[in-house]
């Protein structure tokens, strides 16, 4: 199928381009199957990666209804910076939506189809699946639920995906880290929606810039600056002590130095991919950069 707009581009796509993309993809088949793996199944299809991000956001019917309205209004996508076409997609199975989101320095365009909608007394949400014009292949769901026993309201995002475009395939772990990063931003928007600015491309009213956004644990909702226990750091400490107790140029000293570098890179990579908030991921990337500079100088 011919694409009417590039999937990766430097310039922000306009409403006409997104409309053209939507029309172009409207008759296309989903780029994966079967559907429903994010809402009704805990099994991950072979070859796919599963992501699950949850966040308790309070208690009571009012909190549930507010989050329900946020999901229905695509508040998570808007606060994450996504452009949508239609500007207010209806939550109906079979409905198509074109999206564009900034992945600096590029804009990435994608098309999805709503494959399921849940509207129950204590559970609401929807799932959409990827169409051919999408860097990934798979499905993602956005659900809010209220536990009748405890009255706790929880947001949940589940995705099963695998790379479909060559940049996504080359991205590897970086792509997974970005996917988790975006899930956190979606949760931010569904938890604390802001009115969308009127406009043909449905721009977000403002990005999430609060200090809490950087440090909030995307799994528990708590502020997380450091995590314990952290075995690589203990191992780094032991290797550093070994270096201090041995002379330079000895086998033990050199071996401890190499081990320290390897452990720092491992720790940084783990935080970059699995960090629980943006602060931890940025810290992991900075540590890797620092170690690479040390190795090259």
Q: pLDDT (tens digit, 0 to 9) for every residue of the chain, 297 residues total?
A: 444 678 988 888 999 999 999 999 999 999 998 898 898 767 888 889 999 999 999 999 999 999 999 999 999 998 888 999 999 999 999 999 999 998 877 889 999 999 999 999 999 999 999 999 999 999 999 999 999 999 999 999 999 999 888 878 777 777 777 788 888 889 988 998 764 443 434 444 444 445 666 777 766 666 777 776 677 888 888 888 888 888 788 888 888 888 989 988 988 888 887 777 788 888 888 989 988 888 887
Closest C-alpha among 209, 211, 237 to residue 225: 211
Give the CA distances from residue 121 to residues 4, 124, 144, in Å, rounded to whole numbers and listed in that order.
41, 8, 11
| Domain residue ranges in the chain | 8-206, 231-296
Query: How is residue 226 written in tokens?
Result: 């450091």
Is domain 8-206 given the CATH code 3.40.50.1010 in the classification?
Answer: no
pLDDT at residue 296, rounded to an integer: 84
pLDDT at residue 228, rounded to an integer: 66
Give the CA distances from residue 34 to residues 39, 91, 272, in Å, rounded to whole numbers and listed in that order.
12, 20, 31
pLDDT at residue 19, rounded to an integer: 94
pLDDT at residue 6, rounded to an integer: 85
Element containing residue 57 per DSSP (H, E): strand 49-59
Q: What angle is formed at CA 59 by the lines to CA 54 and CA 63, rounded to 5 degrees? A: 85
> What's the pTM value of the predicted model, to 2 decimals?
0.67
Rounded-to-integer distance, Cα 216 and Cα 129, Å: 28
pLDDT at residue 218, rounded to an integer: 63
251-274 vs 231-245: helix crossing angle, rounded to 10: 160
Closest C-alpha among 110, 50, 56 to residue 80: 110
Q: Judge whether 139 and 28 are in contact, CB under 8 Å.
A: no
pLDDT at residue 201, rounded to an integer: 41
pLDDT at residue 219, rounded to an integer: 61
């Amino acid at each position: 199928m011919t694409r009417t707009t590039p999937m990766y581009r430097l310039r922000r796509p306009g409403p006409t381009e997104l409309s053209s993309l939507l029309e172009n993809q409207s008759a296309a088949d989903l780029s994966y199957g079967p559907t429903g793996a994010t809402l009704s199944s805990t099994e991950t299809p072979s070859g796919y990666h599963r992501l699950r991000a949850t966040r308790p956001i309070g208690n009571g019917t009012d909190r549930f209804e507010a989050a329900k309205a946020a999901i229905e209004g695509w508040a998570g996508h808007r606060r994450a910076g996504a452009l949508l076409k239609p500007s207010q997609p209806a939550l109906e199975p079979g409905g198509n939506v074109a999206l564009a989101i900034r992945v600096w320095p590029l804009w990435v365009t994608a098309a999805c189809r709503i494959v399921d909608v849940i509207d129950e007394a204590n559970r609401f949400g929807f799932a959409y699946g990827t169409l051919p014009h999408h860097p990934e292949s798979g499905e993602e769901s956005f659900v809010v639920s209220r536990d009748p026993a405890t009255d706790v309201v929880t947001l949940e995002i589940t995705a099963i995906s695998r790379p479909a475009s060559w940049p996504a395939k080359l991205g590897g772990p970086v792509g997974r880290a970005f996917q988790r990063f975006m899930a956190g931003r979606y949760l931010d928007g569904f938890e604390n929606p802001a009115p969308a600015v009127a406009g043909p491309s449905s721009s977000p009213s403002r990005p999430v810039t609060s200090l809490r956004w950087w440090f909030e644990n995307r799994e528990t909702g708590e502020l997380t600056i450091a995590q314990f226990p952290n075995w690589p750091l203990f191992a780094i400490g032991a290797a550093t002590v070994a270096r201090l107790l041995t002379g330079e140029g000895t086998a033990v000293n050199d071996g401890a130095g190499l081990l320290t570098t390897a452990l720092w890179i491992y720790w940084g990579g783990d935080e970059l991919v699995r960090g629980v908030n943006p602060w931890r991921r940025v810290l992991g990337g900075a540590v890797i950069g620092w170690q690479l500079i040390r190795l090259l100088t």
